[in-house]
Amino acid sequence: MEQTDIYILAIESSCDETSVAIVKNGRDVLSNIVASQINSHKRFGGVVPEVASRHHVEQIIECIDLAMEEASVKIEDLSAVAVTYGPGLVGSLLIGITAAKSFAWANELPLIPVNHMAGHIYAAQLIEELEFPLMALLVSGGHTELVYMTEHGDFDIIGETRDDAAGEAYDKVGRVLGLTYPSGKEIDELAHQGKDSYHFPRGMIKEDHYDFSFSGLKSSVINLVHNAKQRDEELCDVDLAASFQESVIDVLVDKTIRACQEYNVKQLVVAGGVAANKGLRNRLKQELDQVLPQVKLIVPPINLCGDNAAMIGAAAYVEYQKQHFSDMHLNAKPSLTL
Ligand code: KG4
Ligand code: ZN
């Protein structure tokens, strides 16, 4: 083992995934254990914070052991411990933070606090070296943001949602369509079998800024479904899914391409759970190829789009190099921004 290699043990527990990874030099994922709790939350139609915290407590130690075992590293090989400290559910964050602090203290390792959203962007660094300036489209269950970066660790939010996040709109529309939570993946699959026949509004698409709004679209879908029920009319589910998805994609792609043009970026990173969306990935690729072929599109593979600790390890490497360490007073910041 070369002395210069940096091995980071990273912990992510901000929502409903308990995850521990070992990442070498911010790029090589030696292990990335993800314990999902989704089956426990499905029947409630969303994440129940108390249930999530309890699961994290039950899972975290085993995830650490498995991550170390799978990566075949010894504690002496580790350079630092990284942990998500926000944004997220306070109880969930605290479990990861407590585990990270204990591990770091017991093994005399530096502790690196990581912003969950920075982690989503840095998932791209596991695929390709980031080049600046770049634009990141961050689309998850809680966030929809366009983030401009001119160097590592420097984030400028140029646009964000004024109401619902893209993933949240998917999950709420999924509920009225009778799908199980989270419904983004299923709507994506249904959408590919239907066509945009309902023509829902494209929120703020023409407006001269990079903010988003999805609550008008969500209300249009919900109203249509409720009215149809009252009149006993049949709706076509695959067309509903396709029409909703087309509206979301039109707005996301239009604003993202405009932002890439105006900021003259070298790369476009797509990050967060909704980055798994096949329709979004395809359309962004098509439009970039046509309009801005010089911009390189980086979309992480599906397993790195959702919440995972490898992305936290990738973001932590930048902090490690800047020696941005925390003491043992590190606390959860549920509303942390970039
Ligand atoms: O980033 P993430 O795993 O958790 C948060 O930090 O929020 O994102 C979860 C969100 C959920 O809203 C889920 O419905 C959505 O990502 N999602 C998708 C797809 N797969 C997951 N949305 C659209 N299309 C997909 N294929
Ligand atoms: Zn996330």
pLDDT digits (tens, 9 = 90+) for 259-308: 999 999 999 999 999 999 999 999 999 999 999 999 999 999 999 999 99
CA 125/CA 158 separation, integer angstroms: 21
* Average pLDDT estimate for 224-230: 95
CA proximity to 272, closest of 154, 126, 166 = 166
- Could you tell which of 38, 140, 172, 245 is best to mutate to test the pocket of ligand 1, judged by most ligand atoms within 8 Å of the CB? 140
Q: What is the pLDDT of residues 308-336, one digit of tens each?
A: 999 999 999 999 999 999 999 999 999 99
CATH of 130-299 among 3.30.420.40, 3.40.50.970, 3.40.228.10, 1.20.140.10 = 3.30.420.40
Ligand with smallest separation from the Cα of 167: 1
188 within ligand 1 shell (Cβ under 6 A): yes
pLDDT over 90 at 38, yes or no: no
Atom 1 (ligand 1) nearest CA? 273
Beta strand pairing call for 111-115 and 134-139: unpaired
* Average pLDDT estimate for 227-231: 95
Ligand with smallest separation from the Cα of 144: 1
Atom 10 (ligand 1) nearest CA? 141
pLDDT over 80 at 154, yes or no: yes
Looking at residue 44, what is its pLDDT?
80
- Higher-pLDDT residue of 240 and 43 is 240
Ligand with smallest separation from the Cα of 142: 1
Token pair, residue 241, equals 């899914």
Question: Is 140 labelled as part of a ligand binding site?
Answer: yes
Token pair, residue 204, equals 């703020």
15 within ligand 1 shell (Cβ under 6 A): yes
Q: Which numbered atom of ligand 1 lies nearest the CA of 120?
A: 1
pLDDT over 70 at 149, yes or no: yes
Whether residue 110 has a cis bond before it, omega within 30° of 0? no
| Lowest pLDDT segment from 18-22, 180-184, 257-261 | 180-184
Farthest CA pair distance, the chain = 71
- Could you tell which of 114, 185, 253, 269 is best to mutate to test the pocket of ligand 1, judged by most ligand atoms within 8 Å of the CB? 185
Q: Which numbered atom of ligand 1 lies nearest the CA of 302?
A: 20
* Average pLDDT estimate for 146-152: 98
pLDDT over 90 at 124, yes or no: yes
274 within ligand 1 shell (Cβ under 6 A): yes
- Please, which residues have CB within 8 angstroms of residue 128's CB and are 6 or more apart in sequence? 267, 296, 298
Residues β-bridged to residue 23 = 8, 29
CA–centroid distance, 278 to ligand 2, in Å, is: 18
Q: Which numbered atom of ligand 1 lies nearest the CA of 170?
A: 14
Looking at residue 311, what is its pLDDT?
98
pLDDT over 90 at 167, yes or no: yes
Query: What ranges do the domains of the chain cover?
Result: 7-122+305-321, 130-299
* Average pLDDT estimate for 34-42: 82
Q: Which numbered atom of ligand 1 lies nearest the CA of 142?
A: 7
182 within ligand 1 shell (Cβ under 6 A): yes
Question: Is 120 labelled as part of a ligand binding site?
Answer: yes
Tell me the residue type at 134. L
**7-122+305-321 matches 130-299 in fold:** yes
Q: Which residues are placed with Cβ below 5 angstroms of ligand 2, an ion? A: 140, 307
Looking at residue 306, what is its pLDDT?
92
CB 114 within 8 A of CB 82: yes
Token pair, residue 34, equals 């993800």
CA 77/CA 95 separation, integer angstroms: 24
Token pair, residue 129, equals 């070296």
Q: What is the pLDDT of residues 204-222, one digit of tens each?
A: 888 889 999 999 999 999 9
Q: Which numbered atom of ligand 1 lies nearest the CA of 88?
A: 6
Residues β-bridged to residue 134 = 149, 267
CA proximity to 310, closest of 18, 22, 67, 65 = 22
Q: Residues, the chain, total?
A: 338
Instruction: Tally Cβ neighbours within 10 Å of residue 258.
Output: 15
Q: What is the CATH number of domain 7-122+305-321?
A: 3.30.420.40
Question: Is 188 labelled as part of a ligand binding site?
Answer: yes
Question: Is 250 labelled as part of a ligand binding site?
Answer: no
- What are the C-alpha distances in Å from 199 to residues 118, 166, 226, 242? 35, 18, 17, 10
167 within ligand 1 shell (Cβ under 6 A): yes
Looking at residue 3, what is its pLDDT?
54
Whether residue 49 has a cis bond before it, omega within 30° of 0? no
pTM of the entire predicted model: 0.94
184 within ligand 1 shell (Cβ under 6 A): yes
